[in-house]
Amino acid sequence: MSAEEHAAGGDRIHLPVLLDEILAFFAPAPGVWVIDGTLGFGGHSERFLERGASVIGVDQDPEALGMAQERLAVHGDHFYPLAGNASQLTNLLATHATLPSQVDAILFDLGVSSWQLDQAHRGFSFQSEGPLDMRMDPSGTTTAADLVNGLEEAELAHLLWAFGEERASRRIARAIVNSRETQSLQTTKALADLVSRVSPKKSRIHPATRTFQALRIAVNRELEVLPEMLEQAMSLLKPGGKLAVISFHSLEDRIVKRFLRERSQAELDDPTWPSPKPNPHYQVDLPHKWLKATEEEAARNPRARSAKLRVAIRRPNS
């Protein structure tokens, strides 16, 4: 780990990805309000606060939120932690009368953090032995073990393909169903070993990578809530307010790309229409197609290699 990284209780905390690009875009300063809708350990928020901005940090993971509060407590009442899912941002802010109804900038850093992967008891990683849990919000009712041991073979295969783009989805699903006939799968190692046996490594990534991604996305309903997160952001941004979304795989990025494209078109057209029509959802301008990490950042922080940043600015009177 580099000297820039922090440590808490001996665990890694990931470097904030695409930090320079986001700081340049948001321009945090005194008087600027930022919502960090996926706070994690607060790497991005720490830099916003250091530049004088006020930050509302939202996270559904109570462990991460608690440690972020401890880390950012030095900034006093410029930091406002809120427990919850970013798909409920409007309701969360409405329950706190001292918070603004609209803000200057909103950040979503999607997916699971390096810190969460390091917590074996959370079950996110195939690299550590732990329970097949994967819930970001521990109060959630469904775990990865529930899905692995409860879904029919066809449902499991569809999940692995739809959320993990796993080409061997049917083969893996069949192996899981056959295995659980004698003993249920309850640990990360048991599942990772099974997937490795039936789907040998053909690339640099571990054979179980896509299976674990698919289960995590399903457990936390990540793709289901993402459109609502983006809708919430539109309602909470001031005119001229800025949205930044970091995604790490194509499934997330397609949703973000489609949403922003639909909101950045002044007119809608269809071959069956006599002429284009005004777009009632025209809300944003897109200053960049998308941004990625520099070679220097990717070398320093491997997590940044797959990161894609999309940004938008809410139009006046939209």
List, in sequence order, the alpha helices (H) in the chain.
Answer: 19-26, 43-50, 62-72, 89-94, 114-118, 144-150, 153-164, 169-180, 188-198, 209-220, 222-236, 250-263, 295-300
Residues 104 and 143 in one domain: no
Identify which has the larger pLDDT, 6 or 169.
Answer: 169
- 39 inside domain: yes
Say how many Å lie between the first and final Cα of the chain, rounded: 44
Compute the distance between CA of residue 287 and CA of residue 302 in angstroms, rounded to an integer.
26
Tell me 306's DSSP state: G
* Nearest residue to 35 via CA among 92, 74, 112, 75: 92
Residues 211 and 127 in one domain: yes
* Nearest residue to 246 via CA among 165, 296, 306, 298: 306
pLDDT band for position 1 (cuts 50, 70, 90): very low
Residues 214 and 265 in one domain: no
Residue 257's CATH number: 3.40.50.150
Q: What is the pLDDT of residue 203?
A: 75
pLDDT band for position 4 (cuts 50, 70, 90): very low
Rounded to two decimals, what is the model's pTM?
A: 0.91
* Nearest residue to 59 via CA among 78, 36, 30: 36
The pLDDT tens digits of the residues spanning 191-208 come to 999 999 998 777 788 999
Pairing type for strands 103-109 and 277-278 reads unpaired
Average pLDDT, the chain: 91
Choosing from 220, 239, 268, the residue where a domain stops is 220
Three-class SS state of 178? helix
What percent of the chain shows pLDDT beyond 70? 95
- Please report, for the chain, how many H helices and E strands are present, in that order: 13, 12
Choosing from 187, 220, 253, the residue where a domain stops is 220
The pLDDT tens digits of the residues spanning 262-313 come to 999 998 988 899 999 999 999 999 999 999 999 999 999 888 999 999 999 9
| Residues with Cβ within 8 Å of residue 63, at least 6 apart in sequence | 119
- The number of distinct structural domains making up the chain is 2
Q: Give the structural domain span for 308.
A: 7-109+222-314
The pLDDT tens digits of the residues spanning 73-102 come to 999 999 999 999 999 999 999 999 899 999
Residues 97 and 235 in one domain: yes
